[in-house]
A and B are shown apart, each in its own frame.
Chain A
Amino acid sequence: GAGVSQSPRYKVAKRGQDVALRCDPISGHVSLFWYQQALGQGPEFLTYFQNEAQLDKSGLPSDRFFAERPEGSVSTLKIQRTQQEDSAVYLCASSLARTSEAFFGQGTRLTVV
């Protein structure tokens, strides 16, 4: 596609529900990143994939957070047993290679009630 696409754009979950957030990177982009942006804050790194390999997951806040990119293209960020503190915008970014500019999607706004 023309840009990084994320779905859904908005998600409301009841506390305790599991959610899955999808990221379609730009075709051919090797690197894929997930960030969490709380209200009024800058994005915070969650995890990084190079193709299908998850090379860095140091930013995932707890074991309730899980990300995958099984075929090196689409990625899914899953949050189990959602808590109110998980409410944030989740941003996905992709880049062509290690030295290329990262392009961001519009994000998924998750609200846990």
Chain B
Amino acid sequence: AQSVTQLGSHVSVSEGALVLLRCNYSSSVPPYLFWYVQYPNQGLQLLLKYTSAATLVKGINGFEAEFKKSETSFHLTKPSAHMSDAAEYFCAVSLGTGGFKTIFGAGTRLFVKA
């Protein structure tokens, strides 16, 4: 069985500060891991994905995430927050990149203060 835990339902950072959103996963097989962003009244947009290649994954909008098997973690980071980064972020795990059901975390809402 697979599961995802996102630590912190709300995170607040100042503009220009480091963004760190935490995600831990559980999977009985090597997982595929994803981060999605959701803006109000919008669908989910893929930020980045880990598919067993490089452990440091770079995504869109300056985000990146590092797969750490020993810690079963896939934390999302961005060096400098922008106001436009304010949104809901979801970590997700799947057995594959398509054609497999994806298990989502409960989400972390990111607030960016001016």
Residues on A lying within 8 angstroms of B by beta carbon are 4, 30-31, 33, 35, 40-45, 48, 50, 56, 58-59, 91, 93, 95-102, 104-107
Find out whether the CB atom of A45 lies under 8 angstroms from the CB atom of B98. no
CB closest chain-A residue, reference B9: A40
Residues of B with C-beta under 8 A to A91: 43-44
Find out whether the CB atom of A45 lies under 8 angstroms from the CB atom of B103. yes
Find out whether the CB atom of B90 lies under 8 angstroms from the CB atom of A98. no
| Total A-B Cβ pairs within 8 A | 68
Which of B42, B99, B105 is close to A50, meaning CB atoms less than 8 Å apart?
B99
CB closest chain-A residue, reference B108: A42
Residues of B with C-beta under 8 A to A97: 98-99
What are 5 A-B interface contacts by the 8 Å CB criterion? A31-B99, A43-B104, A58-B101, A93-B44, A95-B97
A40 to B109, CA, bound (A): 10
Find out whether the CB atom of B98 lies under 8 angstroms from the CB atom of A31. yes
Residues on B lying within 8 angstroms of A by beta carbon are 4, 36, 41-46, 49, 90, 92, 96-107
Top 3 nearest A-B pairs (CB, nearest first) are A98-B99, A42-B104, A104-B43
Residues of A with C-beta under 8 A to B97: 95, 98-101
A41-B107, A42-B107 known; A101 vs B101 contact (CB < 8 Å): no
A100 to B42, CA, bound (A): 21
Shortest C-beta distance, B8 to chain A (Å), equals: 14
CB closest chain-B residue, reference A30: B99
Shortest C-beta distance, B34 to chain A (Å), equals: 9
